[in-house]
Amino acid sequence: MKIATILGTRPEIIKMAPIIDEISKRGIDQIVLHTGQHYDEEMSDNFFRDLEIPAPDYNIHVGSGTHGKQTGLMMKGIEEVLLDEKPDIVLVQGDTNAVLAGALVASKLHIAVGHVESGLRSFDMTMPEEINRRAADVTSSMYFIPTEQSAINLLAEGFSRKNLFITGNTVVDACFRHLEIAKKRGFEEESLAELDIENMENILTLTMHRAENVDDKQRVTNIIEALKELSDMNIIFPIHPRTKNTLQNFGLFDELNNLNHVHIIKPLGYLDFLQLTSASTLILTDSGGLQEEAITLNVPALTLRYNTERPETVTAGGNILVGSDTDVILENANKILNDSEFAEKMKKAPNPYGQGDSAKLTVDAIEDYYKRGLLDIKAPEDIMDSFTRKMANVDEDITVLDFEKKENALIHMVFDGEKMRYPADDLNLNGMMVTYDARE
């Protein structure tokens, strides 16, 4: 079996590293293709170093550009490599342009696509990421899903449960594995610059790069107004290159940089960043990965967005959506900083993203599909399966698995009163309503 991984940005490198590592440990043939969307040393190479994974086999150097140009160049480059390498499955991760390009190209070459971190939905179609993740899901064959809630999103869109795998998120694997290593190593001299982060108290880690925030002058201004007021905190802001550019273009960079309590630094490597976030009192971010890491590291998070495709972090109690509204940011930040009971409750929010064995579960599922011949994309005459869609109210103690055996069926959706539930194999369906596909 040969597995091809496509990645292109900082979070994809971090979240695919545990899977790349697991594939390599099992001696499975693999290639890694970097699209080159992120190319600065501190946005790319440093992560291969910190996460101890080999340099990519291919880099197609697409660089920065409009969505159409960037995605088009990626598709051309990815197609050439896939035609040459002929992998059995292509893995894409998350919701960047690499996911869109990789999933479209591979599926049109009739190569199975495995979407890692699948099923997330913000329901906000103004986000390029929402378009990317939805399009990738349509063309995928295997879905590696962090939580039951994300799996329910896919079921509600009509996807079959048979190809869904709830694995947790590989970010937990990366966090658990590298935090210890990071703490032993300490901060890199260079990233400390003149900041003594190791001995600093009241740290607030800030990151933002989301187009809808940093490309909008009013929103950034509102966020900066809140930062000005948080003068009791040491705000450490490893700045994303996109954000540095827009703050400079808006003439806001110097104003922010001149605040005594705000320390703008270059993007940190993963080991330094983990140390910084785990030592923080509060995280203020619009990053997807950081919302997950905050709850993994037990640090309260305020998310500078009006919606999130990670709602589990909010319902678990570890994350609050504050948008870019100055007053709402301040009100919640002050509550966390001054009300220790409230802060403690946020810190204790249960982590919905698994135990850190996500890479193992993912590669287990791929190996199983390969052995059973399920990675081969079949011609229509081989996949036609005659079934009838049915609905039933269940009034006996019976698990999902037993119901399916009894009816020769595959359950699609389960409703427990008003609530949709994920049809886990051992769920007792008594008192619930199910929809299912019964084979004829």
Phi, then psi, of 39 in degrees rounded to 5: -135, -20
Task: Name which position in 268, 329, 375, 434 contacts ligand UDP (CB under 6 A).
Answer: 268
How near is the Cβ of 104 to ligand UD1 at its closest, in Å?
A: 14
CB nearer to ligand UD1: pick between 244 and 347: 244
Neighbour count for residue 145 (Cβ, 10 Å):
25
- The answer to whether 278 contacts ligand UD1 (rule: CB under 6 A) is no
- In the complex, minimum distance from the CB of residue 97 to ligand UD1, in angstroms, rounded to a whole number: 4
CB of 252 to ligand UD1, least distance (A): 16
**Residue 241 binds to ligand UD1 (criterion: CB under 6 A):** yes
User: From residue 334, how far is each of 256, 302, 327, 396 by CA, in Å?
Assistant: 20, 11, 10, 51
Q: How far apart are CA 4 and CA 87, in angstroms?
A: 6
209 is annotated as an active-site residue: yes
Q: Does 178 bind ligand UDP (CB under 6 A)?
A: no
Confirm if 240 and 207 have CB atoms less than 8 A apart. yes
* Whole-number Å distance between alpha carbons of 16 and 94: 10
Nearest to 122 by CA among 111, 132, 107: 132
170 binds ligand UD1 (CB under 6 A): no
Question: Catalytic residue among 34, 38, 115, 209, which?
Answer: 209
Nearer to ligand UDP by Cβ, of 121 and 209: the residue is 209
Question: Could you tell me which stretch among 135-143, 241-249, 375-383, 426-434 binds ligand UD1 (CB under 6 A)?
Answer: 241-249
Beta bridge partners of 377: none
Give me the residue label for tokens 């110097």: 254
Footprint on residues 180-199 left by ligand UD1 (CB under 6 A) = none
From the list 5, 7, 11, 114, which residue makes contact with ligand UD1 (rule: CB under 6 A)? 11
CB 292 within 8 A of CB 171: yes
Q: Is 270 in the site for ligand UDP (CB under 6 A)?
A: yes
* Site residues for ligand UD1 per CB under 6 A: 9-11, 37-40, 43, 64, 95-97, 128-129, 209, 240-242, 245
Provide the binding-site residues for ligand UDP, judged by CB under 6 A.
10-11, 14, 207, 209, 238, 267-268, 270, 273, 287-290, 293
